[in-house]
Amino acid sequence: MIDPFRLCVALGPIAIYALLLGSLNLSRRPFLVGGMRDAAALGLAVSGLIVIGPMELFFPEAAAARIGPAIWIVLVVFYAMLLVLVLLLLRPRLILYNIAADQLRPILADLVPKLDAEARWAGDSVALPTLGVQFHIDRFAWMRNMSLVAIGAGQSHAGWRQLERSLAEALARVEVGRNPRGLTLITAGVAILTLLVLAITRDPGAVPRGLFDLLRV
């Protein structure tokens, strides 16, 4: 059975992430975030699982014997560097929470010609050659979330930043209904936090023991 400390490390960030997503989906306004920031938040959410999973499984005992608990700084920095590398390799994208396709499409139809007079539509794909931006509208209908995902080469990061700013301004005037599935995420987050609190209160001394065991001290 996993001790309370490791349980908190593994599930605590996930609970906070679930609460954050739930609150976004229960808002009356759509929420726009860049793909890099969205992926970074997910990377932080699973960081606890990485710590008690691969990091402990492949723990460098020899290095830990030489430098002590400071080895965890090295491991965390290594994970952070890997996460940054993944973020830099991601295609540009924009994530929109709590908005349906039939609500987003008219907003884009009005916004795109203002950004680029030479813009072209092809189904759910849009090309803005002057901005150096091409994207496809990707739907996650179950959660009522949308993504604008880059397609093709030669994407302009400056063009994507302009698209993000303009779309954020347009969405600021839009009001939507609350997404009931956000309540499911809130409930899951609260349930996980409750489980962690109960595990700690059942054996408070297990938390420092688990910490010392993880640090190998």
20 close to 98: Cβ distance less than 8 angstroms:
no
pLDDT of residue 141: 73
- pLDDT band at 22; cut points 50, 70, 90: very high
Instruction: List the one residue out of 71, 54, 53 whose CA is nearest residue 62.
Output: 71
The sign one gets for the Cα dihedral 16, 18, 23, 29 is positive
Sheet holding 145-150, edge to edge: 31-34, 93-97, 145-150, 133-140, 125-128, 120-122
> Which residue do the tokens 């994970």 mark?
79
Cα–Cα distance for residue pair 19/11, rounded to 1 Å = 12
pLDDT beyond 90 at 109 = yes
Greater confidence (1 vs 119) lies with 119
pLDDT beyond 70 at 217 = no
- pLDDT band at 190; cut points 50, 70, 90: very high
Q: Tokens standing for 55?
A: 């990091």
> Helices H, strands E: what count in the chain?
10, 6
Q: Which CATH class is domain 91-177?
A: alpha beta
Angle between helices 4-25 and 35-45 (to 10 degrees): 150
pTM, to two decimals: 0.90
At 49, which amino acid appears? L
Cα–Cα distance for residue pair 108/74, rounded to 1 Å = 45
Domain with CATH 3.30.310.80 in the chain: 91-177
Encode pLDDT of 110-139 as tens digits.
Answer: 999 999 999 999 989 999 999 999 999 998
Other CB atoms within a 10 A radius of the CB of residue 189 amount to 21
Q: Tokens standing for 118?
A: 């030479």
Encode pLDDT of 133-167 as tens digits.
Answer: 999 999 887 788 999 999 988 899 999 999 999 99
Cα–Cα distance for residue pair 108/170, rounded to 1 Å = 9
User: φ, ψ for residue 138 (rounded to 5)?
Assistant: -105, 130
At 134, which amino acid appears? Q
Cα–Cα distance for residue pair 6/48, rounded to 1 Å = 8
pLDDT of residue 146: 93
Q: What is the mean pLDDT of residues 53-59?
A: 90
Strands (E) located in the chain: 31-34, 93-97, 120-122, 125-128, 133-140, 145-150
Q: What is the mean pLDDT of residues 27-36?
A: 93
Task: Give me the count of residues in the chain.
Answer: 217
pLDDT beyond 80 at 1 = no
